Each structure stands twice: as structure tokens, then as C-alpha cells.
């Protein structure tokens, strides 16, 4: 059997996430790592030379040399860079979130369809081996709690923690709960950056399921875990240590822990980013729909944007002083105008006397 032709890859962005992707691609079979692109020439050179490929400073320099790219540039550049490569016939994996707005996300989705290309969104938590194993035991979840916290990272100060961290969990919820969100309760607080650094959200789904999600980048310790409660027991997932624990009822009425079966399913050890890229390559070779595709990845973005809208409704700034909401500002303006007219009318009446 003839050996499959290697897929020529480029990585756009030589920051932390771009470094992870470059390191992974350099070790994978079936990959020809062509180059790394970053506007910072020294950073691109250092990463490229460490992994035996070519540094570039402009994305257009890779066109014609690559079959696929991984876009690990800042979020505000995802649309511009992703569209450029899709319009030039290059399969594209865009790191989460897919874009800044739903309009940008739709542009990317349509471009991929128009050119028959694979567009995958980098929700790497889907490929966490603990999540992969846990999904075998999750059926009809009624209540889910997810907590994702870690130290502050100034590189992500330009976006909310909802788009930075929580979006991973919003994407996961759509894979676990076969229903749409019908009600959102949300609060967020800025601690170190101009945007929310900690957020808590309660999501109500049309099928009655509820999810409580917390994300923080203002914590000293890292913790990432999920608990899924369902009629027959619950499933606990430790994302960081790739561990799963399940509790299952053995009787309709539980009198003691002896009426529960506790198990620790074996989790196959594999780096999530490796599984993610292998999946991307398989989709390129077989024309399979990626997980998540542009459409599925954009659902998490849409939900994240609705959450941010809820949080910012009353425009509470970092100082803690309450700003008057825009709708009330408008009402206040009308009230002041009406008051001025009334004063003027009363003045004229007094003058007539």
C-alpha cells in the first residue's frame, strides 16, 4: 500500500498556543511542517529553528506552500487570517473562539463551504481523554457544574474570561445536553483587566437541564473539573489530571453508600492537542466533518456573546460605581426635557397673571 502523502502545515502565531501546535506538528507522522508565521521576526525565527522549519512574518508568504494552517493569532485577527487562507484553498483550524462576532464566524463558515475546505475550531477540551471517557457514562444529564480557574495571564487581557476560558465549557455543554439554552443568569467582575476576569453563569435548557459554570483567571491555583448529575447517579471529571469517577445507583432507594457502585474508568493517556490535530488531518484526508465544525464552534461563540450581553446590561465598571443603563439614560433625558417644558409653561402662566 502506498504511503499517504504528508500534509504540509503552517502555524500562524508564535505565542504560547502557537508554540504548542508547532511542537506537536513537528512530532507527528504524516506532517510536513513548512513554517511558522509571526509579525515578530525574532519570535518566529526562534520557534521555527527549534522545530526545523522556516520562519515567516507575513501569512501570504505561506500560500502555495501549505495544504493546511493552524491559526493561533490573537482573536481579533481570526477572521482576517482565516478568510485569507480559506479563499486561497487552504484547510484551516482556527483556535477558539472562532471569531469576535457572529457575522465574522458566518463569513468563515461560508468561505469553507464555498471552497469545499475543512474548517475546524480549536476547542481542545473535546479531545481531553477524560472527557472522551466520561461521555460514555453520561446520559440524560439534569444538572452540570463546571469550574475552570487559574492565574492571571496578561496576554488575554483584551478579551473577557468568558471568551478566554469559559467558552471551552460552553462548547462542552452543547455536546452533553441535546437541547438549546432558553434562559441565562450571569454575573462577571473585572479584577485585573478591563474585562471580566471572573464569571459565573447559570444556563437553563429547554429540556429542563441546568448548568452552573464558573471561570476565573484571578485565582492562585489551577483547577478544572466537572460534575454531571443524572437520574441514575453522577459522573465526576478532573480535566487537568485526566481522571473520571462515576457513582451509579443500584437500588431505587439509596439507604447507604453500599447501594452505590463507585468506579474509576481507565482513561487512555494522550495529549488533547495531539488528538485534536490528528482529527483535523483525518478530516482533511476523508472529507469528514470536524468536531467541532465552524457551525458547531460558532454556537459556543453565540452563547458567549449572549452571556456578555447579560453581564454588561447595567454597565457596572471596575470602580464599582453604578452607571445608569442606557435605556434609563434615555428616560432620564426625556424626563429632564419634560420638566424644563413644564417650568417654562408655569413661568409663562405666572407672567400672564
pLDDT at 154: 80
pLDDT at 2: 56
pLDDT at 328: 40
How many residues does the structure list for the chain? 353
- Of 230, 231, 228, the C-alpha closest to 252 is 231
Q: Which three cell numbers stand for residue 187?
A: 454575573
pLDDT at 320: 42
Question: Does residue 78 lie in a domain region?
Answer: yes
Phi then psi for residue 138, to 5 deg, are: -95, 115
* Sign of the four-CA dihedral 303, 115, 18, 238: positive
Question: Does residue 292 lie in a domain region?
Answer: no
pLDDT at 157: 81
Question: Does residue 297 lie in a domain region?
Answer: no
pLDDT at 314: 52
Question: Does residue 271 lie in a domain region?
Answer: no
Q: Give average pLDDT by consecutive 10-residue segment, the chain, 353 residues.
A: 84 96 97 98 97 97 98 96 98 96 97 97 96 96 97 85 95 96 95 93 98 95 95 94 92 77 93 97 95 90 95 57 42 46 49 49
pLDDT at 257: 75
Tell me what percent of the chain is helix, strand and coil, each rounded to the nearest 5: 40, 25, 35
pLDDT at 87: 98
Question: Does residue 282 lie in a domain region?
Answer: no
pLDDT at 346: 46
| 128: three-class secondary structure by DSSP | coil
Gap between the Cα atoms of 353 and 348, Å rounded: 9
Question: Which residues, in sequence order, are CB contacts of 137 under 8 Å at separation 6+?
Answer: 235, 244, 246, 265
Contact 102, 247 (CB under 8 A): no
Gap between the Cα atoms of 324 and 126, Å rounded: 41
Gap between the Cα atoms of 136 and 74, Å rounded: 35
Q: What is the pTM for the complete model shown?
A: 0.84
Question: Does residue 240 lie in a domain region?
Answer: no
Question: Does residue 110 lie in a domain region?
Answer: yes
* Sign of the four-CA dihedral 312, 306, 300, 222: positive
pLDDT in tens, 209-255: 999 999 999 998 899 999 999 998 999 999 999 999 999 987 777 77
Gap between the Cα atoms of 19 and 23, Å rounded: 6
CATH assignment of the domain containing 27: 3.40.50.720
pLDDT at 348: 53
The domain tally of the chain equals 1
Task: Identify the residue whose cell numbers are 493552524.
Answer: 70
- Which residue range(s) make up the domain with 54? 7-117
pLDDT at 316: 47
Amino acid at each position: 500500500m502506498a504511503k499517504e502523502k504528508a500534509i504540509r502545515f503552517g502555524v500562524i502565531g508564535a505565542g504560547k498556543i502557537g508554540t504548542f501546535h508547532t511542537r506537536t506538528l513537528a512530532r507527528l507522522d504524516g506532517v510536513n511542517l513548512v513554517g511558522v508565521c509571526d509579525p515578530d521576526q525574532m519570535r518566529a525565527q526562534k520557534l521555527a529553528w527549534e522545530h526545523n522549519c522556516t520562519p515567516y512574518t507575513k501569512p501570504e508568504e505561506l500560500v502555495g506552500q501549505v495544504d493546511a494552517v493552524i491559526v493561533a493569532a490573537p482573536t481579533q485577527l481570526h477572521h482576517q487570517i482565516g478568510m485569507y487562507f480559506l479563499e486561497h484553498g487552504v484547510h484551516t483550524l482556527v483556535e477558539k473562539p472562532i471569531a469576535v462576532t457572529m457575522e465574522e464566524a458566518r463569513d468563515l463558515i461560508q468561505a469553507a463551504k464555498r471552497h469545499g475546505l475543512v474548517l475546524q475550531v480549536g476547542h481542545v477540551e473535546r479531545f481531553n481523554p477524560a472527557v472522551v471517557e466520561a461521555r460514555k457514562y453520561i446520559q440524560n444529564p439534569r444538572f452540570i457544574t463546571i469550574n475552570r480557574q487559574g492565574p492571571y495571564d496578561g496576554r488575554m487581557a483584551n478579551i473577557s474570561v468568558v471568551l478566554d476560558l469559559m467558552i471551552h465549557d460552553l462548547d462542552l455543554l452543547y455536546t452533553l445536553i441535546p437541547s438549546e439554552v432558553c434562559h441565562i443568569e450571569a454575573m462577571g467582575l473585572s479584577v485585573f483587566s478591563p474585562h471580566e476576569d471572573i464569571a459565573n453563569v447559570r444556563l437553563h435548557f429547554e429540556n429542563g437541564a441546568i448548568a452552573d459554570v464558573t471561570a476565573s483567571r484571578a485565582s492562585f491555583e489551577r483547577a478544572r473539573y466537572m460534575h454531571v448529575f443524572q437520574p441514575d447517579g453522577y459522573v465526576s471529571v478532573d480535566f487537568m489530571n485526566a481522571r473520571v469517577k462515576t457513582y451509579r445507583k443500584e437500588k431505587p432507594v439509596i439507604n447507604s453508600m453500599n447501594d452505590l457502585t463507585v468506579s474509576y474508568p481507565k482513561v487512555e493517556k494522550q495529549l488533547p492537542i495531539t488528538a485534536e490535530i490528528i482529527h483535523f488531518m483525518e478530516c482533511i484526508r476523508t472529507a469528514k466533518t470536524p468536531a467541532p465544525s465552524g457551525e458547531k464552534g460558532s454556537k459556543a461563540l453565540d452563547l458567549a456573546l449572549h452571556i456578555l450581553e447579560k453581564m454588561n446590561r447595567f454597565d457596572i465598571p471596575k470602580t464599582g460605581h453604578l452607571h445608569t443603563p442606557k435605556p434609563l439614560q434615555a428616560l432620564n433625558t426625556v424626563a429632564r426635557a419634560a420638566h424644563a417644558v413644564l417650568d417654562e409653561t408655569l413661568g409663562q402662566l405666572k407672567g400672564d397673571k
